[in-house]
Amino acid sequence: MRATDCADPLMEIIDVEKHYKRLRAVDGVSLAIWRGSCFGLLGPNGAGKTTLIEVIEDIIAPTAGTILYKGERRAAQFRQEVGIMFQQTALLSFLTVAETLETFSRLYDTTEPVAHLMKRCHLGEVKNQLNDKISGGQKQRLLLALALLNRPELVFLDEPSTGLDPQARRNLWEIIKSVKSQGRTIVLTTHYMEEAEKLCDDIAIMDQGRIIARGAPQDLIRTHCKRATLSVPKDQFPQKIDIRHGFCRERGNRIQIRTENVNAVVGQLLSNRVDMRGVNVKTPTLEDVFLKLTGRSLRE
């Protein structure tokens, strides 16, 4: 899809390339980011997603290509209107959480009140603690608060929940959802499929510097992984049954049936008096889409 085909994108990335000597980290990427959407960029390590994000953020310069923000080339105002949470950032030493937010708030023309932001990002309890004395989850929330400080129209979140425990991750998701509910545009890169499925409306899968698939999570699943897998205990599986809408294979003490028509297979099993309490149904996920498209798991 060409970015220029779209009606009202907040950002347009057109034929962007970034080369490092012989390596093409980003290799001719074109895409559009819609206003108010949460756009997810997925890819294995080394796929080029952080490089692409940093090119879009104007942190590194592209080797070739054009990037438009609100239909124009990015100007000084771009920095006033975007919020960025990098994957790895050290914070200023010897400053407290509150002082860090106050310092950064003086760098923008318009900002959210610091007290309000600390409450929103659950930082009130640690506001007087030094940056290097807070936990990983608190640090991520502080980095998120810094990204939201200037009431940005567009927020970049580069792997925001990496390294967090499940509880801290869910807390962070709640904050991101509240940002999304305000109509802000979010660009998110992540390793976590669940995160992408829960937060993103629009996903691009990147591999070897290129976008290899693009669409809403469910559309990607429907397009690339049509088959669900039913698993039936071997001793319950009828001896003389011909599964008409799927393929069977033996896996240990279970029989797996891969099918595009789950209802038809379930109907056939029921008509053969198979006890459904022992049957598992696994529908395809983004992880399956990813595996199919890249041949690798996300964490590789």
CB of 14: closest distance to another protein in angstroms?
A: 22
Is there a contact between 83 and 186 (Cβ–Cβ < 8 Å)? no
Output 86 or 290, the one with its CB closest to another protein: 86
Note the Cα 192 to chain centre separation in Å: 7
Output 100 or 190, the one with its CB closest to another protein: 100
Residue identified by tokens 């004395």 is 133
Q: Exposure pattern of 27-43 as b/e (b: 16+ CB <10 Å)?
A: bebbbbbbeebbbbbbb
- Secondary structure E strands in 136-253: 154-158, 185-190, 202-207, 210-215, 228-233, 246-251
Identify the helix (H) or strand (E) that includes residue 42: strand 38-42
CB of 245: closest distance to another protein in angstroms?
A: 53
Is there a contact between 113 and 124 (Cβ–Cβ < 8 Å)? no
Output 70 or 79, the one with its CB closest to another protein: 79
CB of 247: closest distance to another protein in angstroms?
A: 50
Output 156 or 237, the one with its CB closest to another protein: 156
CB of 7: closest distance to another protein in angstroms?
A: 29
CB of 80: closest distance to another protein in angstroms?
A: 5
- Type of residue numbered 242: D
In whole angstroms, give the CA distance from residue 111 to residue 89. 21
Burial class (CB in 10 A: 0-12, 13-18, 19+), 239: exposed
Q: Is 270 helix (H, G, I), strand (E, B) or coil?
A: helix
Output 88 or 253, the one with its CB closest to another protein: 88
Contact positions toward another protein, by CB under 8 A?
Answer: 57, 59-60, 76, 79-80, 82, 84, 86, 88-95, 99, 103-104, 106-109, 146
Distance spanning both ends of the chain, measured CA to CA? 27
CB of 94: closest distance to another protein in angstroms?
A: 4
Output 104 or 192, the one with its CB closest to another protein: 104
